[in-house]
Amino acid sequence: MFRKAVALTLFLILTPLAAYAETAPVKIDTGDTAWVLISTAFVLLMTAPGLALFYGGMVRKKNVLSTIMQSFVILCIVSIQWVLWGYSVAFSPDAFGGLFGGLGWAGLNLVGTDPNPDYAATIPHQAFMIFQMMFAVITPALITGAFAERMKFSAFLVFTILWTTIVYDPVAHWVWGTGGWLRELGALDFAGGTVVHISSGASALAAVLVLGRRKGYMTEIMAPHNLPMTVMGAGLLWFGWFGFNAGSSLGANGLAASAFVATNTAAAAAALSWMFVEWAHRGKPTILGLASGAVAGLVAITPAAGFVSVVPSIVLGLAAGIICYLAVSFLKPLFRYDDSLDAFGIHGVGGMWGALATGLFASAAVNSGGADGLLHGNAALLGKQLIAVAASATYSFVLTFIILKALDAVMGVRVNVEEEVEGLDLSQHSESGYTA
């Protein structure tokens, strides 16, 4: 009886203490966690089906499935790569001079449900990890627009693993990882303008130079085979981008709302400016132009979303639509490179504009964790943004060029002419998108 009473008393005293000891240093905010997990799902939607349909509609009928499949399989490959070693290379404590992380978090070792205050103090570390995973997924998928309709599937799979490991993971570490050199420098990238769009855009340019032009480029008609599909994809990208940008506040808070507003505003402004500039130049407003402009605006606002107020986001968007339109309609024909679906023209050019515009328009009043840009009297930020743009674009371009050249020597990166003419759906997958 006595022994039982003592046991019970001890139990009553110790239980709350034990519970306290477990939860005290760890304050998970339920609202923040819910928002980041939902945002993660939003960003997944950007790749499949968003980007898959956006690109799928723009290729010719005979390549619709292979194009959609590239986005879908990247989702699967990078999901595995990221938990095994990608997240560790990008985000674990710096291993070498601010260039990449170590392998201490490989297999999600030490990445549990407790928050990691270096990245996000109020959500489980695994929530931050999986949110970041979706960024690692969409980035190589963006590049597929450049080499669409001519890349060999087997080589493409190997390229995806190598590119994600050698290009994406280090660049993400530079910008966002603890000890990353661009983060230490003070360059700003709210949601991945440098990490996602400049890296994929510069890599896209390298890819088209290695693979060469499609057979019949500039002589045969290569018009989009299904623009309704493309527009549906663009709408899903816009939707998902709220998770991408507003989710990057890593909390359900005022910053998320302000990034959300800036994102939507810039997308709308860029869609309109592309439509009007094309109307003035070619005589007709087009839905492909409207949709492309929206994506260009979303790309450009990405690095700035959490640092700028609403009027600058309109200016940033209007300029993005015009600059990207000029890139695809003058730059591309001038140099005669075949960036099939304008991965460089929209993500590379739009990403660089967005990163520099962040250096112009950023305001510490919007986000105390940010900095003032040139228009708020701080020219130094623009210099830092310029360094970030130059470094990430150069590194991505050079490494992608080397990876693809090496792969070409080992296994060949391009399908043969017969397979290209037949279409990748049949030659690579023995399927057709439209059997009726």
Partner 1 sequence: MKKIEAIIKPFKLDEVKKALNDLNIEGMTVSEVKGFGRQKGHTEFYRGAEYSVDFLPKIKIEIVTTDSMAAKVVEAIVTGARNGKIGDGKIFVVPVEEAVRIRTGETGEEAL
| Residues in touch with partner 1 (CB under 8 A) | 221-224, 278, 282, 284, 286, 288-289, 292, 325, 328-330, 332-333, 342
Q: In terms of C-beta distances under 8 Å and separation of at least 24 residues, what long-range contacts does 251-258 make, across chains too?
A: 251/29, 251/31, 251/32, 251/35, 251/36, 251/120, 251/122, 251/123, 252/29, 252/31, 252/32, 252/34, 252/35, 253/32, 255/306, 255/367, 256/35, 258/306, 258/309, 258/366, 258/367
CB of 356 to partner 1, least distance (A): 23
Sequence-distant (≥ 6) Cβ neighbours of residue 294 within 8 angstroms: 234, 237, 238, 267, 268, 270, 271
Q: Which amino acid is at 293?
A: G
Nearer to partner 1, 89 or 328 (CB): 328
Contact 156, 407 (CB under 8 A): no
Q: How far apart are the first and last CA of the chain?
A: 82
Neighbours of 378 (CB within 10 A): 17
**Phi, psi dihedrals of residue 416, rounded to the nearest 5°:** -75, 170
Q: Is the peptide bond before 49 cis (omega within 30 degrees of 0)?
A: yes
Comparison of 101 and 321: residue with beta carbon closer to partner 1? 321
Whole-number minimum distance, CB 47 to partner 1, in Å?
Answer: 22
Considering the complex, state which of residue 183 and residue 197 has its C-beta at the smaller distance from partner 1.
Answer: 197
Do the Cβ atoms of 246 and 181 come closer than 8 Å? no
Query: Smallest distance, Å, CB 341 to partner 1?
Result: 9
Q: How far is the CB of 144 from partner 1 (least distance, A)?
A: 17
Q: What does the alpha-carbon distance between residue 191 and residue 188 come to, in Å, rounded to a whole number? A: 9
CB of 325 to partner 1, least distance (A): 7
Which CB, 333 or 369, lies closer to partner 1? 333
As measured in angstroms, the least distance from the Cβ of 218 to partner 1 is 8
If the CB atoms of residues 120 and 328 are measured against partner 1, the closer one turns out to be 328
| Least gap, CB of 300 to partner 1 (angstroms) | 17
Select 282 or 429, whichever has its Cβ closest to partner 1.
282
Q: Which helix (H) or strand (E) holds 78?
A: helix 64-81
Nearer to partner 1, 94 or 338 (CB): 338
